[in-house]
A and B are shown apart, each in its own frame.
Chain A
Amino acid sequence: MANMIKRVFSNLFGRPATRLYPFTRREPFVGSRGRLQNDIDKCIFCGMCQRRCPTDAIVVGKKPDKSWTFDRYRCIVCGYCVEVCPVKCLSLDPKHGD
């Protein structure tokens, strides 16, 4: 029991283990998977991301429409689309909550 005394004092006088989110935020870790972004100017509308998406969250309209739509609520942030994108226009932004 004696080895818990240090912990008792650190609990009493130390900083809390939690943060006052959303007022205090932790910086996201490098490589953390967040919301999907598409640099639409680079996109070639090949449809690879649509075919690979396990939740059918992406819909790509090919020529002549050329559209790229994405349902954020269906996305499971797996990053499969980012992996297969041939021009690397897709990315996962680690920031969230804004």
Chain B
Amino acid sequence: MSKRTIIPFGPQHPVLPEPIQLRLVMEEERVVEALPAIGYIHRGLEKLVEKKDFNQCVFLAERVCGICSFLHSVTYSQGIEEMMSVAVPDRAKFLRLIWGEIHRVHSHLLWLGLLADSFGFENVFMHAWRCREKVLDLMEKTAGHRVMLGTCCVGGVRRDITDEGLAEVLRVVDELQKEFDEFVPVVLNDYSIKQRTIGVGKLTKEQAAELGAVGPVARASGIARDFRETGYAAYGQVGFKIVTATSGDCYARIQVRCGEMYECLEMIRRAVKALPAGAINVAVKGNPSGEVVSRVEQPRGEVVYYLKGNGTKNLERMRIRTPTFANLAPLLAMLPGCELADVPVIVLSIDPCISCTER
């Protein structure tokens, strides 16, 4: 056995947007084991629900993540609505779906750019982020803010999209489709990208199931599981197709996320066409009481909110299980056996969101 050394990967590393440390046990250039250390950006958001009114906590939930922010507020609001037996108007459900899918496109484009950056492909990075800029502008036009939409509330949504706004959504969706048609085949067929991702960071279907992988990581290993299947919000009425791949490597994760971007655009088109008229929210009276588990499919996978109310305006407990936390164990299974130069690509391939994980 050759001599083993430990190389710290992070918490500050050029490819990491957020701090996490992986202590890599190395044998020459090969990783033998990875030991994670988290806890660099814990903010105590879960504790804050005890101090704030449950309506104000929608904004708090939204700030758990700076990328899939809207979907956090949807998960929280759906939980409170279930606890208080509030029937959300159909239009609000469709608007939640539209904004949710716009968020997914922006998150996947951000990820594609960061992944390309991790293996030094700056062109793809800039191209993906230029496309993402259109999505961010669309969010600002329809919701008033680029990332923190702030449009979800308990009982529905706080803001409607006008007919002109919906026309703009369709125009941007068509524009994005053209952009994707142009550069997604290039990304998927590029020699350098294939060299850096095919066969790298493999996770078998059995490993993914055993370790509890969620979202695109699980789907890239051949597990066709997506929480949107349950039909929450308007997903049951709009319908969607689960995108999967079978090889379970970094390339499969690119395939799944690129496929999902197309699927998102299709869903937005269908939702805009089927958008019902009517109210966008209902008045919510009283305070939440009881326990509920609320789940939503985020860009990175399934997020779980446990909420406990005691009949007062403040919740007693909120517990969040984020998708990156679930994907950390699969990540540690992907790393052994890989070369040190492939570690950034594998880490980025799970689309880590550490500030979500630590809340």
Contacts and interface: CB of A to CB of B under 8 A. Distances in A.
Contact of B150 (A3, A52, A78): A78
A17 B133 contact: yes
A7 B181 CA distance: 12
B56 A54 contact: yes
Contacts of A83: 158
A4 interface: yes
A54 B59 contact: yes
Interface in A64-98: 76-80, 83, 92
Given A76-B148, A83-B158, A4 B183 contact: yes
Contacts of A79: 144, 150, 158
Contacts of A52: 55-56
A32 interface: yes
A1 B56 contact: no
Contacts of A22: none
Contacts of B140: 29, 32
Interface in A21-39: 29-33
B258 to A, nearest CB: 16
Contacts of B158: 79, 83
Contacts of B145: 32-33, 77
A10 B150 CA distance: 36
Interface range, A side: 20 to 34
Interface range, B side: 20 to 34
A80 B59 contact: yes
Nearest to A51: B53
A82 to B, nearest CB: 10
Contacts of A7: 127, 182-183
B56 A3 contact: no
Contacts of A54: 52, 56-57, 59-60
B273 interface: no
Contacts of A33: 144-145, 150
B130 interface: yes
Contacts of B60: 54
A17 B150 contact: no
Interface in B139-156: 140-141, 144-145, 148, 150
A32 B137 CA distance: 10
B186 interface: yes
Query: What 6 pairs across the A-B complex have the smallest Cβ distances?
Result: A54-B56, A33-B144, A54-B59, A78-B150, A29-B141, A17-B130
Interface of B: 52, 55-57, 59-60, 63, 127, 130, 133, 137, 140-141, 144-145, 148, 150, 158, 181-183, 185-186, 189
Interface of A: 1, 3-4, 6-7, 17, 29-33, 52, 54, 76-80, 83, 92
